[in-house]
Amino acid sequence: MHIPHRQCIACRSRKPKQRLIRIVRGGSAGVRLDRTGRAQGRGCYVCPRTDCIVHARKHDLVSRHLRRAAPPQLYQDLAEFLAALQPRPRQSFLGLAVKAGKTVLGTEAVRRSVKTGTVALVLYEPQASPSTVQRLTAVCRAAGIPALPYAGALPLDQAVGKPNCKAAGITDRQLAQSLIAEHE
Ligand SMILES: [Zn+2]
């Protein structure tokens, strides 16, 4: 599956587009936060992290990228947007599955569970190495189990609360269906 990537203006790391905040310079509204990520006009991206937003503000990177002054209101909106990002439904859904003991975490454990048919859905970290993703999705394909790149606002390991976790298998069929529906 192809995932479009964009670069953060502050830390310059490339990430899947949906994991970045878009800022747009559009018409008479000037430079503003693009909540939809699809507003017309020249855009730039920043990570949903206080560090990156503070850095962007300090060096006036938004104005430089969009070639128009960014108003102070933009940074207020960014701060509010960031605060609102934390309890996102998909995240809490996955978090819920973890808390309820309905997940298998870690690439190796997930691969084993796919082979024994104990998981109904596999979510993987899109930033994981291509070989990891390929090995995992090949096993899932062979077993007929859906494997989706995790599309939450936070990286997968943070969403499940396990450092460096690159894959999560959902053992509960109903929860798996809900997560698939959210991805569509
Ligand atoms: Zn960044």
Cα-to-centroid distance, 167 and ligand 1 (Å):
23
> Quick one: pLDDT band at residue 158, thresholds 50, 70, 90?
confident
Do 21 and 49 fall into the same domain? yes
Do 76 and 140 fall into the same domain? no
Do 103 and 64 fall into the same domain? no
**Residues forming a β-bridge with 22:** 34, 45
**Residues forming a β-bridge with 24:** 32, 43
Residue 162: which of 132, 129, 125 has the closest Cα? 125
Cβ-contact 160, 100 below 8 angstroms: no
Cβ-contact 168, 103 below 8 angstroms: yes
Cα-to-centroid distance, 176 and ligand 1 (Å):
31
Cα-to-centroid distance, 19 and ligand 1 (Å):
10
Cβ-contact 21, 47 below 8 angstroms: yes
Q: Considering its fold, how many domains does the chain have in total?
A: 2
Structure tokens at 91: 């995240």
Which domain-ending residue is among 53, 85, 117? 85
Task: Name, in order, each residue with C-beta under 8 angstroms of 129's C-beta and a sequence gap of 6 or more.
Answer: none
Q: What is the pLDDT of residue 148?
A: 93
Do 80 and 99 fall into the same domain? no
Do 177 and 102 fall into the same domain? yes
The predicted-structure confidence for 33-85, as pLDDT tens digits, reads as follows: 998 888 999 999 999 988 999 999 999 999 999 999 999 999 989 988 887 77
Q: What is the pLDDT of residue 172?
A: 92
User: Taking the complete model, does pTM exceed 0.95, yes or no?
Assistant: no
